[in-house]
Amino acid sequence: MRIDIITVLPELLKSPFEASILKRAIEKGLVEVHFHNLRDYSIGNYKQVDDYQFGGGAGMVLMIEPIDKCISKLKEERDYDEVIYMTPDGSTLNQGVANEISLKKNLIILCGHYKGVDQRVRDLFVTREISIGDYVLSGGELAAAVLCDSIIRLLPGVLNDETSALTDTFQDNLLAPPVYTRPSNYKGTEVPDILLTGDFPKIEKWREEQAMERTTKLRPDLLE
């Protein structure tokens, strides 16, 4: 997979890719992530990428021309499956969306800023609009990092234990069961006996029951 991220603030976005699982995925060559600073495609002497909105109103709008220049250059080099725009009015990211996007090959992710992008960018270039939740961030960068993390960890070979993404919360529309590690008795609180029996079919059944119980209690909406 290859991900090209277009942003006015690459420095806000880079660190999640320089640590832990994402870093390892990049080092293993399982994903390439490229950052494109929109200012490198700016117009005029002032390196302009945004302007006041027509009709008046507070807040700047990212202009179409630098975005067009950047996207067009990328598209000359390869085909893209999706041009994703991070925006609070997009459809909400969930595990199903992450699973689907993780199967794609080449992605462009565009981060909005200020009041967002000129509507014509969305009309002409964007194939999909994604929000990470019903709240407003200062820009799309942190949302793009969340999206990338959710898809990159699903790529084959990224997680050490290949089955572990399959048993994540949400992977079957259920919350994950509780997990425990040593010590089995900590200041009098004990690990459920069943987990120490070594009876794996029974343990699996217990986990399924726990997952169902937790979901019923904490997120009944997932069962609807």
Residues 6+ apart with CB under 8 A from 161: none
Residue 89 region, left (φ>0) first, then alpha (ψ -120 to 50), else beta? alpha
Query: Which among 216, 215, 209 has a CA at the least distance from the CA of 195?
Result: 209
Least spacing, CB of residue 113 vs ligand ADE, in Å: 8
Structure-token pair, residue 198: 């070594």
Residues annotated in the binding site for S-adenosyl-L-methionine, as ranges? 112, 132-137
> How many of the other CB atoms lie within 10 Å of CB of 2?
16
Of 74, 143, 148, 165, the one binding ligand ADE (CB under 6 A) is 143
SS3 110: strand
Residue nearer to ligand ADE on the CB measure, 111 or 165: 111
CB-nearest residue to ligand ADE: 143
Residues 6+ apart with CB under 8 A from 114: 50, 59, 60, 61, 62, 139
Taking a C-beta distance cutoff of 8 angstroms, is the pair 134, 77 a contact? no
Least spacing, CB of residue 9 vs ligand ADE, in Å: 12
Residue nearer to ligand ADE on the CB measure, 110 or 174: 110
Residues annotated in the binding site, as ranges? 112, 132-137
Residue nearer to ligand ADE on the CB measure, 133 or 183: 133
Residue nearer to ligand ADE on the CB measure, 42 or 131: 131
Of 103, 136, 179, 218, the one binding ligand ADE (CB under 6 A) is 136
Residue nearer to ligand ADE on the CB measure, 4 or 141: 141
Instruction: Report the site for ligand ADE in 75-134 (rule: CB under 6 A).
Output: 86-88, 112, 131-133
Taking a C-beta distance cutoff of 8 angstroms, is the pair 38, 7 a contact? yes
Count of positions on this chain that bind ligand ADE (CB under 6 A): 12
Binding residues for ligand ADE (CB under 6 A):
86-88, 112, 131-133, 135-137, 140, 143
